Structure 1
Amino acid sequence: MGTVIIVVILVVIVAIAARSGMKHMKGEGGCCGGGGDAVPEEHKTLEGAKLGEKTVHIEGMMCDNCRKHVEKQLDKIDGVVAHADWKKGIAVVSYDRDVSDDAIRQALAWTDYKVTSIEESK
């Protein structure tokens, strides 16, 4: 009898986890600790003329809150404005001064996201 109760509890836990996981994969439910649209987005602009763009390929973005987090981290770099697309797994980084690939990687180093490659946009 005890085994049956344990199995039922495990099935319920797995069902709840699967349901939550599906919402997360669809970008629903405020994953990543985000509060949805409760906090208005701040849009940074470049101070000088745009010198170029880099496309950063990122693993781990699964929702709009992930996108906002990536953009916020990259926007902390002086001379950078980032626009991420979680569905494509990229962030386009525009810059008005030289920005090293290492600086971009460092901006995301302490997050749950992994930079897989960085390429100069044309």
Structure 2
Amino acid sequence: MSTSPATEAPAYPTLPVADVHQVLSALADPIRLEIVRRLSRAGGGPTPCAHLYDGVSKSTASHHFKTLREAGLTERSVEAGQSCQRLRVAEVEQALPGILSAVLRAADELTPPQ
């Protein structure tokens, strides 16, 4: 049975936000940090995966998306047949107040956006 793009179910279940160690470990990788920075600048809505990385293969990007999802930082969905990611700002803020904004602020101060 085929479903139309407008009625597609989420591609993966949404996981709870992990403990601080797992969240910081996920954000410690420069590629994942850049993905989170791009998601943050996207304003909270679903963003096509292809817009979130460059300079790495699709399989490497998939690994990074999985790590972020397993830390509870992002969720994956399919929008109009396209795989998308969303940064779970409110959920992370509730679980670990201030951590996401502090990491993003520090990253912005240390490195220019790509």
Q: Name the TM-score, length of structure 2 as normaliser.
A: 0.29
- Kindly name which structure, 1 or 2, has the bigger radius of gyration based on alpha carbons: 1
Q: From the two aligned structures, give the one with the greater strand fraction.
A: 1
Q: Which has the higher contact order (CA 8 A, sep 6+)?
A: 2
Q: From the two aligned structures, give the one with the greater helix fraction.
A: 2
Q: Name the TM-score, length of structure 1 as normaliser.
A: 0.28
